Structures are given as structure tokens and as C-alpha cells.
């Protein structure tokens, strides 16, 4: 792991973190608190966890309920910013239930933007995704590439991006859209980490399989045009993602009004490379079966991160692959009492 980021203070500012009980959201809340701010979690706890809300108050609210959302926003209309991390994310589920994804993701985001407009909240950080780019032969991915998402998940995120841009043009919304690549790892304290239910992400599933907590894991597709035939992704530590939000908040204070930027490392690792590193870190064999491709998956996605460095002074500090796996294993081993 590289040296820590230089200190930056939020000077007691309140920041609404929508989805603050979730994986990335809880790390964002912790980092806001660590930098002298107060995070206020808005969450319906459908996938987030009450025990992950440790650094500020929590409001039980569903973005799809405009009335209750507006009541919650009215209590915090002096907040410095709104950070939106509450979305349905499971690619396979999105292909089976697009209505649910559009309802939760797009309608929820619309209600949030309208509530912000009503209450005079005009600083917004949105957690988008590299999935908005879709299938492409051009990597690393730059922010000016065409966005043609392949999955329902990516399509809902792109719809929200377009909505945010329209609110900026028409109503003066100040925004930063962070297109995350693959969030991974856990806070070094071991207090919070990845806890999806059901779990659909490669690293925690691999660790469950290695620990004997599930049967053989599945590798979806071994016939992609990559060196070992499996998908390639850019894995970025969740604390690096959280830090990108802190840097973004500082840029708002410096006058930034709008930005779309990749949050990744610029390095791609295949599914089989991830499994090998999990075996090395855990010291355990990792059984798996090769299965057909999963609908909605693309061949390879990794970032050109130069714009994030130029615009946000963002340089990943925690995203060495071995450190990502070790921090995740530290969290899961404690949680599973291994």
C-alpha cells in the first residue's frame, strides 16, 4: 500500500449519503467523519446494514417514496452536498427484472433530484459505473468514448447521468459523476466491508468458496478474447473510491460545477488472476467450475484514470491487488470467525 493521502478537512460540513449503509456508502461515511465532516445516511436498508452506520445519524427512507424523501430532506436542507450511492447493481438480476431496476434506480434518482431542487440543495456526487460504456475493443476506457451500455444495470446508470446533465443545464445543479470500476477490498480496520446478500461479486464469492462456506464457485465464460479466456476488470479499493468523494467535495468548494470522471487504476486483471491471488493470500485451494457466459457481461473494462488525476488530484493509494485481497480477507475472516 502506498502512503496515505494528504490531510483535508471538511470543517464540520454535513453531507447526505444516500445508501450510506451499503458497501461503498459506509466507507464514504467513515471517510467523511475521518476528515471532520458529518455523514447523514439515507437508506431503506433493503440491502444495506444498520451495523454499518457508525459515523453519523441514519434516516430510514426509500427514494421511490417522494413524500417521505422530501420530509427527510427538509430536515437537512442546510447540508453541503448529497452523495448518491443507492442503486440496484446485480447485473444478472437486472436482465431478469428490468422493471425493478428502472423503478429503483431511475425513478429513485429522479425523486432525489427533484427533492434537492425543492430544498435548495445543489451539490451532487453520483456513483455511476464503467458499465455505461458497454462492449468495446478500445481500452483503457476514456471518458469521451461513446456510451452504449450492454446491461440493464448500465442502461439505468446512463439514464441517470443524462438526467443529471439536464438538471445542470436547466437548473444549475453542480455535480460530479464518478464512473467506478470494480469496487473491492475493505477498510483496514476490519469494521466494514463487502456484505451483499445474495453475494454476486467475484472476490467475496471466491473467498467463501476457499473457506468452504459454499460449493464450487462459477466462472462465467472462459471463451472471451483475453489471454486466459476470462473477463478482465479494473479492481479499485473501496477506500480509494471513498477518497475520490472527499476530493470531489473539495473541488466543489473551489468552484467546480460539473464533471464526469473514471475512478479506476488503469490495470486489468482476469477472473482467473483474481482466483490465483485469493489462493495465495488465503493459503487455501479454491475450487471452481467453468460455466457459460452470463448475460450482460462484457469482455474487458479498465480505466484511463488520467482525467481523475488531472481534475481531482486522484491517485489510487490502496489498490495494489494483493492489498485489496488481504484487506477483504481480513474483514471476511473476522466476520466468519475463521
Whether residue 235 lies in the annotated active site: no
Separation of alpha carbons 151 and 133, rounded Å = 10
Q: Position of cell 446491461?
A: 151
What are the C-alpha distances in Å from 313 to residues 2, 141, 177, 271? Answer: 15, 19, 15, 30
Q: Residue 23 in 3-state DSSP? A: helix
**Sheet with strand 232-233: strands edge to edge:** 269-270, 232-233, 300-301
Nearest to 126 by CA among 75, 166, 87: 87
Question: Which cell numbers hold the place of 300?
Answer: 474487458
Separation of alpha carbons 14 and 32, rounded Å = 9
Binning the chain into helix, strand and coil, the percentages to the nearest 5 are: 40, 20, 45
For β-strands 232-233 and 269-270, DSSP reports them as: antiparallel
Question: Which cell numbers hold the place of 110?
Answer: 429522479
Output Rg (C-alpha) for the chain, integer angstroms: 19
Taking the CB of residue 79, how many other CB atoms lie within 10 A of it?
Answer: 21
Separation of alpha carbons 69 and 102, rounded Å = 18
Helix (H) or strand (E) holding 172: none
Taking the CB of residue 323, how many other CB atoms lie within 10 A of it?
Answer: 17
The 8-class DSSP code of residue 229 comes to: S
Separation of alpha carbons 57 and 68, rounded Å = 17
Q: Which of 5, 23, 133, 153 is catalytic?
A: 153
Q: Which residues carry out catalysis?
A: 153
Amino acid at each position: 500500500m502506498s502512503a496515505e493521502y494528504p490531510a483535508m478537512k471538511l470543517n464540520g460540513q454535513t453531507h447526505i449519503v444516500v445508501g450510506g449503509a451499503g458497501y461503498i456508502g459506509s466507507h464514504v461515511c467513515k471517510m467523511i467523519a475521518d476528515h471532520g465532516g458529518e455523514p447523514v445516511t439515507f437508506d431503506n436498508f433493503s440491502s444495506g446494514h444498520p451495523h454499518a452506520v457508525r459515523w453519523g445519524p441514519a434516516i430510514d427512507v426509500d427514494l421511490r417514496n417522494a413524500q417521505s424523501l422530501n420530509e427527510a430532506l427538509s430536515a437537512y436542507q442546510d447540508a453541503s452536498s448529497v452523495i448518491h450511492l443507492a442503486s440496484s447493481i446485480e447485473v444478472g438480476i437486472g436482465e431478469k427484472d428490468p422493471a425493478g431496476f428502472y423503478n429503483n434506480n431511475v425513478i429513485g434518482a429522479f425523486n432525489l433530484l427533484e427533492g434537492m431542487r425543492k430544498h435548495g440543495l445543489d451539490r451532487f456526487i453520483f456513483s455511476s459505473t464503467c458499465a455505461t460504456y458497454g462492449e468495446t475493443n478500445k481500452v483503457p476506457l476514456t471518458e469521451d468514448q461513446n456510451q452504449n451500455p450492454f446491461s440493464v444495470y448500465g442502461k439505468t446508470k446512463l439514464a441517470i447521468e443524462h438526467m443529471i446533465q439536464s438538471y445542470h443545464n436547466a437548473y444549475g445543479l453542480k455535480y460530479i459523476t464518478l464512473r467506478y470500476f470494480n469496487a473491492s477490498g475493505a477498510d483496514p480496520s476490519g469494521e466494514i466491508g463487502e456484505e451483499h446478500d445474495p453475494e454476486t461479486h467475484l472476490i467475496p464469492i471466491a473467498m467463501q468458496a476457499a473457506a468452504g462456506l459454499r460449493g464450487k464457485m462459477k466462472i462465467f465464460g472462459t471463451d472471451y478474447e483475453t489471454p486466459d479466456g476470462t473477463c478482465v476488470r479494473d479492481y479499485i479499493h473501496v477506500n480509494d473510491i471513498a477518497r475520490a468523494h472527499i476530493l470531489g467535495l473539495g473541488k466543489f468548494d473551489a468552484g467546480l460545477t460539473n464533471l464526469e470522471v473514471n475512478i479506476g487504476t488503469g490495470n486489468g486483471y482476469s477472473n482467473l488472476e483474481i482466483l490465483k491471488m485469493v489462493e495465495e493470500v488465503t493459503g487455501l485451494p479454491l475450487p471452481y467450475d467453468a460455466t457459460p457466459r452470463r448475460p450482460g457481461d462484457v469482455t474487458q473494462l479498465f480505466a484511463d484514470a488520467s482525467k481523475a488525476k488531472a481534475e481531482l488530484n486522484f491517485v489510487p493509494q490502496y489498490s495494489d491487488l494483493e492489498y485489496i485481497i488481504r484487506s477483504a480477507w481480513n474483514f471476511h475472516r473476522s466476520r466468519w470467525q475463521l
